[in-house]
Amino acid sequence: MSLAPDITELLARARADLRMGVPVALTDDSGYSVLAVSAETLSPQRLADLKALGTPVVAITGRRAETLKARAYDGDLARVVVPADADITWVQAVADPSDDLSAPMKGPLMTERQGNANLHRIAIALAKSARILPAAVVVSIEDGRSFAATHGLTCIDHTRAAPHLADRSALHEVVAARLPMEVSEAGRLHVFRPEDGGEEHYAVEIGRPDRDKPVLARLHSACFTGDLMGSLKCDCGPQLRGALAQMGSEGAGVLLYLNQEGRGIGLANKMRAYFLQDQGFDTVEANHRLGFEDDERDFRLGSDILKSLGFNSVRLLTNNPAKIAMMERTGIAVTERVPLKVGETAHNRGYLATKATKSGHLL
């Protein structure tokens, strides 16, 4: 029977559990098992319960470990030992950089260097994909499958999960309908849904683009603050409206609206990054202090959608060379880069300068 959830559905369940502060059991082929809980949503009672099972660690990314001056013996992550007297405030201070400047001395932090960190890596990957802080409290247990069954918890097998977490989910078009817009009455909106239960992505088609010619296209990452609220801290809103206006003027084009807010870290973490920027850090430094990479987005989603719509070549509206390189690598020919230089304000000049110097944007 196919009534039991498959690994894709179990991973979706695990993400929801972590967002709610519910533990997830993780196992590997060697028989090693752990319980993992989001450091952000962990409750004091559950922390006490984890301590009763053994000595927990806080698994954090190498980026966050660098900020905390904690030794990352596992390279891309560190396993910070939770002291016996540590409370929930201590755990959250390790995971969340909001008080780093006001309380910089968090150590000395002891980190584990023995044993396998693969399950801790899975826990961090799940937290990232759940759009919460990339930190998990982890404790070793005996027989994760039995423990999960006894306590009604989701159990994830490392071997089955790793390939799914490393690659993007397949997208399927759910519906498309006519959408008259200010820039063009001949508009059409396509909705694409990933198989992994993640956020949907959209394609806005202007006019009737010829599939046999390079289409004027833009990959636009969702920006609630810029697109909807008119934020002056970024150039996203003007870029969105400028791209649509140019497509309307030319009579044809396709704008891909990808739900990868805050360079793929989610709106809550983006606001955490804004808080850090107010303390003097630039956008890349803020992401690193949170435990993220410079850019966590997956632009291959845009290539997948374009192919699904029947396009194989584009005139790409972008200032970001990484988007061009991704398109070329994934089989979409970029015949022309069309600059999109709009939206500079007194509030975002530093942000734009960082995009140019650290992310290679052509501004």
Q: Are 215 and 327 in contact (CB under 8 A)?
A: no
- Closest among 316, 318, 322, 334 to 296, alpha carbons compared: 322
Q: How far is CA 21 from the centre of its chain?
A: 19
- Cis check for the bond before 209: say yes or no (omega within 30 of 0): no
- Our CA dihedral for 207, 210, 211, 212, rounded to 10 degrees, sits at -170
Question: What angle (nearest 5°) sits at the alpha carbon of residue 317, between those of residues 312 and 322?
Answer: 80
Residue among 17, 196, 235, 295 flagged as catalytic: 295
Q: How far is CA 113 from the centre of its chain?
A: 27
Residue among 49, 297, 304, 337 flagged as catalytic: 297
Helix pair angle (88-95, 44-53), 10° resolution: 90
Q: Strands 57-61, 135-141: parallel, antiparallel or unpaired by DSSP?
A: antiparallel
Q: Is 79 a catalytic residue?
A: no
In three state form, how does the secondary structure of 148-183 look?
Answer: HHHHCCCEEEHHHHHHHHHCCCCEEEEEEEECCCCC
Q: Is 298 a catalytic residue?
A: no
Residues 6 or more apart whose CB falls under 8 angstroms from that of 112 comprise: 57, 73, 79, 81
What span, in angstroms and rounded, lies between the C-alpha atoms of 178 and 189? 6
**What tokens appear for 140 in the block?**
């070793």
Question: What angle (nearest 5°) sits at the alpha carbon of residue 141, between those of residues 135 and 142?
Answer: 150
- Closest among 289, 284, 287 to 356, alpha carbons compared: 284
Residue at token pair 């606001």: 271
Enzyme catalytic residues: 295, 297
